[in-house]
Amino acid sequence: MSRWWAGWRAALRIAARDTRRARARSALVLALLMLPVVAVSTAAVMWATYDVASDEALERRVGAGEAMIRVDPGVTRVIQRFDPDDGHGQETGRLTDPTWPEMAAALDGGPGDRPVTALRDGWISVGTSLGSTGARAIEADFDSPLIEGLFRVTEGRFAATPDEVTVNKALAERGPTLGETLTVTTVDPVTDTESVRHLEIVGIVESTRLRSARLALSRPGGFGAFDGYQHGWLVGGDPVTWDDVLRLNQVGAAVVSRSVLSNPPGLEDLPEEFAYLDDYVDDTVLIILALIATMVLIEVVLLAGPAFAVGARRQARTLALMSATGGATPAQARRVVLASAVVLGVTAGLLGTLLGIGVAWLAVPAVAQLSWEYPGPFEVPWPVLGVVAGFGLISALLAALVPAWIASRQDPVLVLAGRRGQSRPSIVMPLIGVLVFGVGVALAVAGTRQYRGEFLIAVSAIVCVLGMVMLVPLVVSGVGRLVRFGPLPLRFAGRDAARHRTRTAPAVAAVAATVAGVVALGIAMTSDAAENRETYQPRLAHGWGQVHHPGDREAVTATIRQVAPEAEFIEVSTAGAYLEFHVVGEEYPREWWSNVLDGGVIVADSVPEAVPGFPAEHRAEADRALTAGGVVVLDLTPAASGRVAVVANDWDHETGEMLDPQEYGEHPLILVAGDGEAKGPVIISTRLAQDWGLDTSSHLLVDGLSRSQAVDAEEMLAVLDAGLYVERGYREDRSILIAKLLLGLLGGVLMLGGTITATALALADARPDLATMSAVGAPPRTRRRIATSYAVVVSLTGALLGVVVGFVPGWAISVPLTHFGDSGPFFEVPWLMIGAVVLGLPVLTAAVIAATARTRLPMVARLD
Amino acid sequence: MITDSQPVLRLDGVTRIHGEGAGEVHALRGIGFVARPGELVAVMGPSGSGKSTLLALAGGLDTPTSGTVTVEGVELGSLNAKERARLRRTSIGYVFQDFNLIPALTAAENVALPVELDGVRTATARKAARAALAEVGLEDLADRFPDEMSGGQQQRVAIARAVVGNRRLILADEPTGALDSHTGEEVLRLLRARCDAGAAGVLVTHEARHAAWADRVVFLRDGVVIDESGADAADDLLSGKHVG
Ligand SMILES: Nc1ncnc2c1ncn2[C@@H]1O[C@H](COP(=O)(O)OP(=O)(O)OP(=O)(O)O)[C@@H](O)[C@H]1O
Ligand SMILES: [Mg+2]
């Protein structure tokens, strides 16, 4: 035991000295290892700090009380998680307001002697200088000691009477402030009458929990009758147990209980609806986290690998001397290399977590400015950070593994003879690589045929990358042979890369893994977009617009004409009834759904211009059918005619009960095949609608708005509370474009990082060669040309490999992503993006290196 | 033999000081030195006497603190880095003690290096390299990498690289230092032959035996020339071992 330790102690001492001596290389490795550690530990601290829904900061939610009991309007029964804000479900049907005795009966079996104070919570409309705005309003007795901790007075005092009010900063910024009068408009939900009250603002009071929401506080009765308000009771006394909570749930209350949240019962006590969901969510999140962690680990190991390879080779001479003179064993050689990984890994882990804590500490207040919620007390999740720091060590050890193994197999004679090359590549490794890659492909294929195969596909991506990593050395030596006829700098770079495979291969693999990820995600996103485009259902014919909530139509048309005098308006009616269409001779009713005019059945005597995808040649025929009392449907099936029986299935809108189906008889049917993918609505004539007694509503449609006119009109209509939708066909979601850009950026950064690392290390290694070239008369620019060639070799080889590997998971993931029912799957390759990655990024990388590489060649031809 | 009038290499009052202040090292102090076409000059002296420094200055790899270095009539101080590099690949050949071949390039590519760097087409450069390799008797090993050759073979490749493209000044810094005596003699014979063909050679060596190959020997100590013997003096010194 002691001897085992002694061996390591010597190795660690050598490693520590070496780490200090090779400062630049150590800094590089440290940065690579630390980056993910810093990022993850920052995120962990932020998350822990913001995660105030647990047992922390309970006074912000239950004040000085034991529990907050809340009943939403009309709710008769609730199921909830331990914390209802993490999820709860409701049944409605309550007609009367909930009362405290009702709650007390559920909680204590009668009117106990618990201290309690009531709160009412709802929405009001308050006057501002510009007009009016909404605000959250709470009525409470602010003298109650139970309330302590819910609110914080920053100026003035709490409201003491129902004629006084306090506002928070967010509301004061929009409307009247301290010392002024707040005009409150409320709607009585029962009588539907509006009432206006004027309250004096006596203080600025913040919620301790919500930061940016506008808030007004007054005494009970201060806001008059609320619209849709929530009743709440803050109770003190004995702890409220989970059983108490479950009983309160039965009378429609959701409960935040101090004792339940501080000491949650076992998961088996959750209502089963949540228990099932909990499992699912946890598994998914864990699997995703594990996959991401693995990917990051692979990337970091590959990026840090070259530096360890160079370090190991620099130590090779020392090790060879040790073994030649002192009989050092291969194990000792291995240990020295691994020890430097331990030194760097431990340093990166500790430094990285400390840095992460520091970054989080600085970031919490900044993020709080943007968040709607106040953060909890600063909290450092030490166990999580321990794992994260361990990640640094593990990645360092993994990165040093191959160099350590090679160091232990070093032939001291060759090393001492100053031969700097490496032996021929083994053939076993690539064979295993091909095998592993094959397994990855098989997994991907299996993933496409399985329910929730996404996980399998993600795993396959990792397996493919691992297989590729094992193939890279072979590819790199292939490149070394390929450059034989290239110009001198390229020839040198390619051969040198091949000769120093332990240094080159991880860098190439890092680039390849990055590109594979970018390509896979790019294919996934493009295919997804293709699906959206192909299955896009227009709501109107191209260029037509629909005014939502037109209200005063005269005013709306006048407003639009102000910006677009040429605009044409039509009104089209739809029937809201739920109709079932049985084509005569078919067993099941047809499902004709459409996006047009909110999916209603169109009532018109001729096909409105605004219906999308209606072929012009069928218009006359369809119009004739409508006048003859027929039913016209735009469908994907070829044009056909027949008869259709129509049945109304409707329910009583008061009681929610289904009414007896009502039969409307058989009518002639014309099916028209739409242009493109357009699925059209059902159109019936006005006479049929009248005969059947359908309620219709009329939609205001407008044609002839340019894009800029539409934008202006939309802004002006907002004043009238009206909205405008103009059909412009499928347009790619801006967020997809942004995601693609971010993806490209991240890929570019990683690719640049990998290439620059490898190039810098290669140049440092090639110092004697550069000195020789200088001595035989190489012009100063030779160094830059070699650096650029090196960058091209690494990034281009990596990019090409990555594209091939990325296609596998990319294709696979597009299947579950774009396959629903009988639509899809869609597969589209983002050629432009791939082109940019394969050609653009290497060129960019080479350009960056060419611009930054020193041109000065080392002059003195001495070997270090 | 070409006339003695125009020396290929000429150093006048050359001083080279490394470092500054207390750590100042005077590697050379006011040296004058000349090497003419067809002449092989041996430079001898104890370790640290400034031999390598002299060679580095002659090859334009280093610049003197004061004094001038002239190669084929061109004063190196008047050239910029680019022009000096050009001079190195067209006029000066360098042979190092530790061979300094580029391991990523084959023997032929190593020899072709200066020619290729000068912008000559690869194929032409290869042809010249093969000719130079043939001159040192290594045409069969043209496609081997340095790792696959013996030390003597590597040094012969280095000499081929130094002479390729008909360069007129060959600088050799202990070219035999890492070789056994037989192989060392072989290397010196090649140098001598090159000088007999009209080049000027400067050979730094420790061993008096090797100086016998030279027309002239210059002795350095602490950065100054302490003795200079003509060809005849060297003959007297090592009577019986005369080489034409
Ligand atoms: N880059 C340098 N920085 C500082 N001092 C140097 C440098 N190069 C050489 N010197 C010093 O200059 C002096 C001459 O060195 P030089 O290499 O020319 O000696 P040398 O005659 O070639 O010796 P050797 O026979 O051991 O090769 C020595 O004292 C040496 O320490
Ligand atoms: Mg020397």
What pLDDT is stored for residue A351 in this prediction? 92
List C-alpha distances in Å: A680 to A115, A594, A597, A706. Answer: 62, 6, 10, 25
Domains and CATH numbers, chain B: 9-91+167-239 (3.40.50.300), 101-153 (no CATH)
Does residue A413 sit at the B interface (CB-CB below 8 Å)? no
| Closest C-alpha residue for ligand 1 atom 31 | B48
Domain that holds residue A101: 58-271
Asked if A777's CB is within 8 angstroms of B87's CB, the reply is yes
Query: How many whole angstroms from B223 Cα to the centroid of ligand 1?
Result: 10
Q: Which atom number of ligand 1 is nearest to the Cα of residue B19?
A: 4
Last residue of a domain, one of A726, A757, A786: A726
- Residue A590 is classified by DSSP as B
pLDDT digits (tens, 9 = 90+) for A764-784: 888 888 888 888 888 888 888
Question: Over 50: is that where the pLDDT of B174 sits?
Answer: yes
- Residue A190 is classified by DSSP as T
Whether residue A722 sits in one domain with residue A585: yes
Residue identified by tokens 């270095």 is B69
Contact B68, B28 (CB under 8 A): no
Examine residue A333 and state whether it is found in any structural domain, yes or no.
no
What pLDDT is stored for residue A559 in this prediction? 82
Residue A496: its chain B contacts at CB < 8 A?
A: 104
What φ, ψ does residue A231 adopt, rounded to 5°?
Answer: -95, 140
Whether residue A641 sits in one domain with residue A573: yes
Length of chain B as a residue count: 244
Whether residue A781 sits in one domain with residue A849: yes
Q: Is B52 in the pocket of ligand 1 (CB under 6 A)?
A: yes
Residue B147: its chain A contacts at CB < 8 A?
A: 419, 421
Does residue A779 sit at the B interface (CB-CB below 8 Å)? yes
Residue B129: its chain A contacts at CB < 8 A?
A: none
Examine residue A399 and state whether it is found in any structural domain, yes or no.
no
Last residue of a domain, one of A699, A726, A753: A726
What pLDDT is stored for residue B120 in this prediction? 84
Distance, in Å, from the CA atom of A659 to the CA atom of A648, rounded to the nearest integer, reads 9
Ligand lying nearest the CA atom of residue B96: 2
B146 contact partners, CB below 8 Å, separation of at least 6: B99, B101, B102, B103, B105, B107, B110, B154, B157
Buried b (16+ CB within 10 A) or exposed e, B38-53: bbbbbbbbeeebbbbb
Examine residue A393 and state whether it is found in any structural domain, yes or no.
no
A728 contact partners, CB below 8 Å, separation of at least 6: A542, A543, A707
Does residue B95 sit at the A interface (CB-CB below 8 Å)? no
| Closest C-alpha residue for ligand 1 atom 2 | B18
Q: Is B205 in the pocket of ligand 1 (CB under 6 A)?
A: no
What pLDDT is stored for residue A529 in this prediction? 83
Whether residue A739 sits in one domain with residue A719: no
Examine residue A294 and state whether it is found in any structural domain, yes or no.
no
Whether residue A239 sits in one domain with residue A92: yes
Examine residue A584 and state whether it is found in any structural domain, yes or no.
yes
Which amino acid is present at A634?
L
Examine residue A340 and state whether it is found in any structural domain, yes or no.
no
Angstroms from A823 CA to nearest CA on chain B: 56
Contact A607, A626 (CB under 8 A): yes
Contact B171, B178 (CB under 8 A): no
Contact B124, A817 (CB under 8 A): no
Low-confidence ranges of chain A (pLDDT < 50): 1, 639, 861-864
Mutate to test the interface with B, among A776, A857, A864 (most CBs of B within 10 A): A776
Examine residue A3 and state whether it is found in any structural domain, yes or no.
no
Asked if B59's CB is within 8 angstroms of A776's CB, the reply is no
Asked if B105's CB is within 8 angstroms of A492's CB, the reply is yes
Examine residue A339 and state whether it is found in any structural domain, yes or no.
no
Peptide bond into A825 cis (omega under 30): yes
Asked if B147's CB is within 8 angstroms of A774's CB, the reply is no
Whether residue A194 sits in one domain with residue A71: yes
**ipTM of the predicted structure?**
0.81
Last residue of a domain, one of A237, A271, A305: A271
Question: What is the tally of structural domains in chain A?
Answer: 3
Whether residue A808 sits in one domain with residue A754: yes
Question: Of all helices (H) and strands (E), which one includes residue A543?
Answer: none
Angstroms from B113 CA to nearest CA on chain A: 8
Q: Of B140, B160, B39, B40, whose CA–CA distance to B99 is shortest?
A: B160
Whether residue A87 sits in one domain with residue A197: yes
Whether residue A111 sits in one domain with residue A207: yes
pTM (predicted TM-score): 0.72
List C-alpha distances in Å: B43 to A335, A538, B199, B207, B223. Answer: 47, 91, 17, 10, 12
CB atoms under 10 Å from CB of A203, counted, come to 21
Which member of B81, B89, B122 has the closest CB to residue A776?
B89
Mutate to test the interface with A, among B87, B102, B163, B179 (most CBs of A within 10 A): B102
Whether residue A744 sits in one domain with residue A781: yes
SS3 A259: helix
What pLDDT is stored for residue B130 in this prediction? 92
Whether residue A216 sits in one domain with residue A91: yes
Q: Which of residues 123-152 of B touch A (CB under 8 A)?
A: 145, 147
Asked if A779's CB is within 8 angstroms of B104's CB, the reply is no
CA dihedral defined by A740, A744, A749, A750, rounded to 10 degrees?
100
Query: How many whole angstroms from B52 Cα to the centroid of ligand 2?
Result: 4
Q: Is B46 in the pocket of ligand 1 (CB under 6 A)?
A: no
Whether residue A713 sits in one domain with residue A595: yes
